[in-house]
Structure 1
Amino acid sequence: MLFLKTENIGRFGKKAAAFDLLHQTVNAYNQDIGITSIFNPIDVYTNLEIDPEIATSTVNDVVFYLQTLKAPIQRNQGDAVVKQGATIFNQINCASCHKSELKTGYSPIKALSNKTFAPYTDLLLHDMGSGLDDGYTEGSAKTYEWRTPPLWGIGLSEDAQGGNYFLMHDGRANSIESAILMHGGEANNSKTGYQNLSQSDREALLKFIKSL
């Protein structure tokens, strides 16, 4: 069973090329570390089909682990400046792509079934402009299209990365503000809205984002 020729709507990966966590996990094993599975037995080095190098049960265990990871909880939700930043986030239309609320469909895992959650993404591809067009693509995504990354946990990522931010699809942005200013294409109006904010409003917006 190969995933290579599927034409499902993707939600995972920088280019939304994977349609579920099994697909994403199999791709990571195969493309990132060169391990074949029953789902994708093609060796990335020789392009030949070889025997699976990892048990299907192990792949399924990893998928279950990823599915059931606890979502990060927003910090400082009652802080007045954080609340102000949330209002500004909506006013300059960041929420048109970084949606604050999504709902899961049915899942055989009861804890995941029909749950409302706050990932701050729409999990869709968007034109991000020429500045983020690096000539790379997957599937049918254009070189300038990128999936909206979830913002939940972004305020914790600095501590998880040695005290530094490495944002955007290739880690080129070293701060949340620099990431905002790299937005183009469909997000250009929101970037302009940010640039037109007062310094105090910018700080409030950044504090809100860091609280996620």
Structure 2
Amino acid sequence: MPTAPSRPWRARPTPLLVAALVAAIPPLVAGAETAPPWAGLEDVHLDIIPRTAEERARVGAVTAPPKDFAAPWPYEENPGGAQTVRARGTADAFSQPAANLTFRQELDFKVGNGMFRRVWVSAPASTIASDGLGPLYNARSCQRCHLKDGRGHPPEGPEDDAVSMFLRISIPAPIPDEGDLAAMEHYIAGTHATAPDPVYGTQLQDFSLPGHAAEYRLDLRHEEIEVPLSGGEMAVLRRPAYAAADPGYGPLHPDAMLSPRVAPQMIGMGLLEAIPAADILAWADPEDGDGDGISGIPQIVWSDVHDRPMLGRFGHKAGNPTVLEQTASAFAGDIGISNPVYPAGSGDCTDRQIACIAALDGGDAEQGGVEIDAVGLDLVAFYSRTLAVPARRDVADRQVLRGREVFFATGCTSCHRPTYVTHRLAGDDPASFQLIWPYTDLLLHDMGEGLADNRPEGRADGREWRTAPLWGVGLTETVSGHSYFLHDGRARSLLEAVLWHGGEAQAARDAVVEMAPEDRAALIRYLESL
């Protein structure tokens, strides 16, 4: 049988190498010369019980590089550890509670699910529980974008709206002057300085309440690109071009930078949040010190909840550090719902959108002056954290096993890191001390010009993206009714997604193009089993 190009499993850095890497990074907060390097990257949002020496040894053994590819490995059938549930062959496959929830936690999950599905209406309404929508928004509920907790998709024709997709917007900004203490307070060293569009804010909303103009209409066009593959096969990619048509509040800023975003799947978020920051940082190699062409860097963002720099984990460019903040920012930006983290009643409206700012909002004194209070926000965040990861399928199938060997040998695991063990957490936290298989390093990587949005975000430049987790990827069509992938849904299949990889992934992508067709088919079959 033909073999895939040889590429070793990426060696895990030793503790001494980690210490050297950390020491080489300048202080995160500019002007904080006395702050230790990487200050603020502790897992401050988790109640952590330090691992014992015995536990560290067990973790090292269970996450060690594999040697035998002839049979399934222990535990890989359960990618979410004890949170894993049976894989359903229905659209509800991503909507199950984690298998290890207590009875009380399952009740919280169900209430959070109800709030995740809640359809918001404009204020004033007959109940304070559901009013406050907009005035500008992208969707009326979390569920409208993350349908069945799965992936969104780009519009599929003139009759299909872009409810699960929008454009982020920002403009370049100067790095703050060190003498401006207020501006420097939250500036993180190495960050690409940007600012919201002075009129349109941080994202473009394509829906609005009566009496308000929507901000734009998404104009999407495609150019087809043929990619010859080995064995006489051919793939056809679609190169998208995006424009903000019919701007409702005048022209965009001349330097406006736009970036499309499709809603990602929701499973396993609490487990990703519980991965030790040190384990993620250990995988970083900013200067490509090992010479393998992979130089992932950590995203560092300011946490509005913890008031300090933290490791970014969530979003296509890892722009949020915690599930709570990801949830709060989505309520504010996508639906226009104020909350304790982002309390503005007008959502993403700017001072130049006078009618939007002046509109009646749903903030009520009984809810602390916001439209969803801390209790409600926590419940939605808990629901998001505890959506179960479905079990793997066909782990013993010969073609799947061959595809797994190809995946490792081709170098895909240099970014799509297979395994972690989460923190041991106090209490009955369901994410505590789980062996998980998310297939991501949660770092930023240069993905080449083909996928570049040319819009920096935090420490990510216009070509860098966070490695997307792969667990559940094979159930996308079952859950979402489509097989669109990548940050903007341009890829219509897993093979197309692979072929869009460039930059640091160029060598792996080229290996897929050139490998024997049966190995390429096995690789895709393996991905479909995840």
Normalization by structure 2: what TM-score? 0.38
Deviations 1:32-72 (A, max 9, x none): 11111111113311367x74211110110111112222112
- Shift of residue 160, structure 1, vs aligned partner: 2.1
Match of 1:52 in 2: 370
Match of 2:461 in 1: 142
Give the whole-Å Cα distance in 2 for the aligned partners of 1:2 and 1:52.
Answer: 17
**Aligned AA for 1:59?**
L
Match of 1:85 in 2: 403
- Shift of residue 159, structure 1, vs aligned partner: 2.0
Match of 2:330 in 1: 28
Give the whole-Å Cα distance in 2 for the aligned partners of 1:5 and 1:194.
Answer: 44
Deviations 1:2-51 (A, max 9, x none): 45975311011000011110111111111111111111113311367x74
Q: 2:434 aligns with which of 115, 119, 130?
A: 115
Match of 1:180 in 2: 498
Give the whole-Å Cα distance in 1 for the aligned partners of 2:315 and 2:307.
Answer: 17
**Aligned AA for 2:316?**
K
Q: How many equivalent residue pairs?
A: 210
Q: Which structure shows the bigger proportion of residues in helix conformation?
A: 1
SS in structure 2 at match of 1:160: helix
Residues 115-134 of structure 1 aligned to structure 2 (within 5 Å):
115-134=434-453
Moved more, 202-211 or 129-138: 129-138
Q: Percent identity over the alignment?
A: 40
Give the whole-Å Cα distance in 2 for the aligned partners of 1:192 and 1:5.
Answer: 43
Deviations 1:58-92 (A, max 9, x none): 11011111222211211000101100100000000
- Shift of residue 94, structure 1, vs aligned partner: 0.4
Query: Which consecutive unaligned segments of at least 5 residues does structure 1 have?
Result: none
Match of 1:193 in 2: 511
Contact 1:15 1:137 (C-alpha < 8 Å) held by counterparts: no
**Aligned AA for 2:330?**
A
Query: Which consecutive unaligned segments of at least 5 residues does structure 2 have?
Result: 1-302, 352-356, 358-362, 364-368
1:54 to 1:120, Cα distance in 2 relative to 1, 3 A: same
Match of 2:527 in 1: 209
Structure 1 residue ranges (4+ consecutive) displaced by more than 6 angstroms after TM superposition? none
Q: 2:320 aligns with which of 18, 24, 29?
A: 18
Give the whole-Å Cα distance in 2 for the aligned partners of 1:154 and 1:183.
Answer: 17
SS in structure 1 at match of 2:375: helix
- Shift of residue 106, structure 1, vs aligned partner: 3.2
Give the whole-Å Cα distance in 2 for the aligned partners of 1:107 and 1:23.
Answer: 20
Q: 1:160 aligns with which of 457, 479, 483?
A: 479
SS in structure 2 at match of 1:110: coil
Give the whole-Å Cα distance in 1 for the aligned partners of 2:387 and 2:479.
Answer: 16
Contact 1:3 1:40 (C-alpha < 8 Å) held by counterparts: no
Contact 1:104 1:116 (C-alpha < 8 Å) held by counterparts: yes
**Aligned AA for 1:145?**
E
Pick the structure with greater CA Rg. 2
Give the whole-Å Cα distance in 1 for the aligned partners of 2:483 and 2:306.
Answer: 33
Deviations 1:75-117 (A, max 9, x none): 0001011001000000001011111112211334432112110
Give the whole-Å Cα distance in 1 for the aligned partners of 2:451 and 2:307.
Answer: 27
Normalization by structure 1: what TM-score? 0.92
